[in-house]
Structure 1
Amino acid sequence: MDFSALQRTSKIDDEWRYPAAEARRTGLLQVDRDPDHKLYWEEYGNPAGEPVMFLHGGPGGACAPVMARFFDPARYRVILFDQRGCGKSEPTVASAGPAVALTNNTTAHLVEDINRLRDALGITGKMHVFGGSWGSTLAMAYAIAHPQHCATLILRGIFLGAPEDLHFMYQGNAATFAEDPFGLTAPGAYVSYPDAWAAFLAPIAPADRGDVMKAYKAIFDMASKNDDERRRQLAAALAWSVWEGTISNAIPDTEDEGKFGEETFALCFAQIEAHFFANALFLPPDHIVRHAATLATIPTHIVHGRFDLVCPLTQASRLVAALRDAGATPASYVVTNAGHSAMERENALALTAIMDGLPPLR
């Protein structure tokens, strides 16, 4: 039996409402010096339209033109940009190494980069802020810092970044895996992806699996002295990246790892994520939930896959509860029969429908 069609059934494929398009213009914006950080940005849609600031995931995930397809190009002015250290921004972890690209690379820096990009592109009023996964975290951190700039928040795959959220994805049964690889000794995404989990743990010695993220960070932080050490770092980055790429889809494409299996992408993605996670996302504990009252002043739309194992639905549930406790029900809260990826059919259609249904900015 040919299962190839089944492997693609969760992707949106040709059901996009809006066609693929080329960027109207692009640029590099200098946002810092020593080291120089320059953000690569692209603009799509109507230059006089309602501004949408698109915040990609990861951190370290970078943007792609397909991300502009959630938005009516006649209505919206869509800004895509690559955050510090990744994509086409300069320098990247892959091009300059972590010592350079991870300097001045924190949540506070990324929040202020959004303002610098607003100013450079002449956005003076309120804008829609659209982000998924880590992009949802950054969107909420930005809104807490600068609520006056946010007309609406459109969030997918809520990521609050608490220690238990990270442990669910990266720790699981790792400490007991060598003795009992199929033992359900702790909650985690591994329960639905056992083969991918084994591949993710392979670069880490069994003795170091008591703290998998710390062990990976130690590999990434090595000052590579020879080709063997550089190959070890690359193998670790690919394992980290492919693990997340695999579990991002309820029906993973087992024949194509996509960008997650590309060396340059993986080096940026894995090392930036490890950097942020080792530093608790550079946010105080429970920062987002503790500032729910600020978020409650902004119309907030949430889309979350019921089968999301990167950011389990409990994180969206916690955010919704915090908003309600602050006196505001989300403007919309859609739980789809999908996984984590924005490119899964139900997530993509829900996000597009929300953007189509927003009241016009005055």
Structure 2
Amino acid sequence: MDFSQLQASSKIGDDWVYPQPPCLNFGWLEVDRDPAHRIYWEEYGNPDGEPVMFLHGGPGGACAPVMARFFDPKRYRVILFDQRGCGKSEPNVATAGPSVALAKNSTADLIGDIEKLRDRLEIAGPMHVFGGSWGSTLAMAYAIAHPDHTASLILRGIFLGAAEDLRYLYQGNAATWDKDPYGLTEPGAYMKYPDEWAALLSVLTPDERRDVMTSYKTIFDHVPANAAEKERQQRAALIWSLWEGVISNMIPETADTGKFGEADFALCFAQIEAHYFANALFLPAGHFFDHIDILASIPVHIVHGRFDEVCPLAQASRLVAALTEAGAAPATYVVTNAGHSAMERENALALTAIMDGLPPIAL
């Protein structure tokens, strides 16, 4: 039977509105000492244009030049940077280890880094803040801390980071999986990705599966004493990374896992995520709803995939309801026929359309 006519990918492919712009400038900025942290940044588009601060996901996902393609390069001055511990920022978790690269690595530190980068790039007035997944979390946290510097929030794949949100992604039916791997005992992303779920749990013993995130964090924190322990740690990081990378797409691309299948990226990504998740994202419970009045004072634009299994749509619904109750429904709320990734075609085109339609910032 010929299946060649079936849709093979949900990614944007060649359908971008804007071509890849050249990098105008790049550098490293020292943002902390003891231990020293230097964040890597790049600048794209119009150097005299409206500033856009791009906040990548993960935590630990790092940036790539393609992320500048959401924006009209004639209108916007786009800033990409790798958050502490990942990408080209130094120290990197994969090379320096977690004891160094995860020291002084919290949400408050990242918010401070954004302010330091603003100063370094001489951004004096408000800017557009654009973030997806964990980037949406960080964008909202930044806006609450610095509303005067936030002209608008453009958010994709809302991640509120509540315990129930993390359990959906990482716990599911894990506690009973050994006895009934296909039992739908708890809600979770495993229901749509049983093979990838089996791989995620294969690293753990039945007892460790009672708390998947804690067990993975223990593996990542352990200093390997021999080759077998090191191999288990590296395998755990790779499988953690692949779990999120594959399920981020409505049509999983298991044959082309991209950066999520690269050993160094995976080791960095997995350990930073586990660090933030184990510490409740370094944010007080209910932080966004306790400060919903601040968020409601800023134009908020939301794009969320209906088939998002990393950050289910209920998280966006929760935020939209809170903003509406606070008297300021989102300026834009688009639910796409897509999954989680910003590179899903419907998500990417919706985000570009929002950026094209934003009222200009007075410079």
Normalised to the residue count of structure 2, the TM-score between the two structures is 0.98
1:241 aligns with 2:241: yes
Q: What residue in structure 2 maps to residue 17 of structure 1?
A: 17
Structure 1 counterpart of 2:201, which letter? Answer: L
* Shift in alpha-carbon separation, 1:169–1:42, aligned structure 2, 3 A: same
Q: What residue in structure 2 maps to residue 185 of structure 1?
A: 185
Contact residue 21 and residue 73 of structure 2 kept, 8 A? no
Q: What residue in structure 2 maps to residue 207 of structure 1?
A: 207
Shift of 1:4: 6.2
Q: What residue in structure 2 maps to residue 130 of structure 1?
A: 130
Alignment gaps of 5+ in structure 2: none
1:297 aligns with 2:297: yes
Shift of 1:22: 2.4
| Distance (Å, rounded) in 2 between the aligned partners of 1:100 and 1:275 | 13
Q: Secondary structure at the match of 1:206?
A: coil
Q: Secondary structure at the match of 2:124?
A: coil
Cα displacement string for residues 164-213 of structure 1 (whole angstroms, at most 9, x for unaligned residues): 00000000000000000000000000000000000011101111111000
Alignment gaps of 5+ in structure 1: none
Shift of 1:41: 0.3
Shift of 1:21: 2.4
Shift of 1:228: 1.4
| Distance (Å, rounded) in 2 between the aligned partners of 1:278 and 1:164 | 13
**Structure 2 matches for 1:277-288, cutoff 5 A?**
277-288=277-288
Contact residue 94 and residue 264 of structure 1 kept, 8 A? yes
Q: Secondary structure at the match of 1:179?
A: coil
| Distance (Å, rounded) in 1 between the aligned partners of 2:295 and 2:195 | 39
| Distance (Å, rounded) in 2 between the aligned partners of 1:263 and 1:149 | 37
Q: Secondary structure at the match of 1:304?
A: strand
Cα displacement string for residues 18-45 of structure 1 (whole angstroms, at most 9, x for unaligned residues): 0012211110000000111000000000
Q: Secondary structure at the match of 1:302?
A: strand
Q: What residue in structure 2 maps to residue 105 of structure 1?
A: 105
Q: What residue in structure 2 maps to residue 26 of structure 1?
A: 26
Q: What residue in structure 2 maps to residue 38 of structure 1?
A: 38
Contact residue 111 and residue 138 of structure 2 kept, 8 A? yes
Shift of 1:6: 3.9
Q: What residue in structure 1 maps to residue 347 of structure 2?
A: 347
Q: What residue in structure 2 maps to residue 72 of structure 1?
A: 72
Cα displacement string for residues 1-30 of structure 1 (whole angstroms, at most 9, x for unaligned residues): 554664533110001010012211110000
Contact residue 213 and residue 274 of structure 1 kept, 8 A? yes
Q: What residue in structure 1 maps to residue 330 of structure 2?
A: 330
Structure 2 counterpart of 1:359, which letter? Answer: P
Cα displacement string for residues 47-101 of structure 1 (whole angstroms, at most 9, x for unaligned residues): 0000000000000000000000000000000000000000000001011000000
Cα displacement string for residues 126-161 of structure 1 (whole angstroms, at most 9, x for unaligned residues): 000000000000000000000000000000000000
Over the residues paired in the alignment, what is the CA RMSD in angstroms? 0.9
Structure 2 counterpart of 1:70, which letter? Answer: F
Contact residue 25 and residue 42 of structure 1 kept, 8 A? yes
Q: Secondary structure at the match of 2:155?
A: strand
Q: Secondary structure at the match of 1:354?
A: helix
Shift of 1:282: 0.3
Q: What residue in structure 1 maps to residue 141 of structure 2?
A: 141
Shift of 1:290: 1.5
| Distance (Å, rounded) in 2 between the aligned partners of 1:51 and 1:5 | 42
Normalised to the residue count of structure 1, the TM-score between the two structures is 0.99
Contact residue 7 and residue 253 of structure 1 kept, 8 A? no
* Shift in alpha-carbon separation, 1:4–1:88, aligned structure 2, 3 A: farther
| Distance (Å, rounded) in 1 between the aligned partners of 2:101 and 2:327 | 41
Q: Secondary structure at the match of 2:103?
A: coil
Contact residue 9 and residue 253 of structure 2 kept, 8 A? no
Q: What residue in structure 2 maps to residue 174 of structure 1?
A: 174
| Distance (Å, rounded) in 1 between the aligned partners of 2:125 and 2:6 | 45
Q: Which moved more, 1:255-264 or 1:53-62?
A: 255-264
| Distance (Å, rounded) in 2 between the aligned partners of 1:4 and 1:117 | 48
* Shift in alpha-carbon separation, 1:4–1:257, aligned structure 2, 3 A: farther
Q: What residue in structure 2 maps to residue 115 of structure 1?
A: 115
Structure 2 counterpart of 1:267, which letter? Answer: L
Q: Secondary structure at the match of 2:268?
A: helix
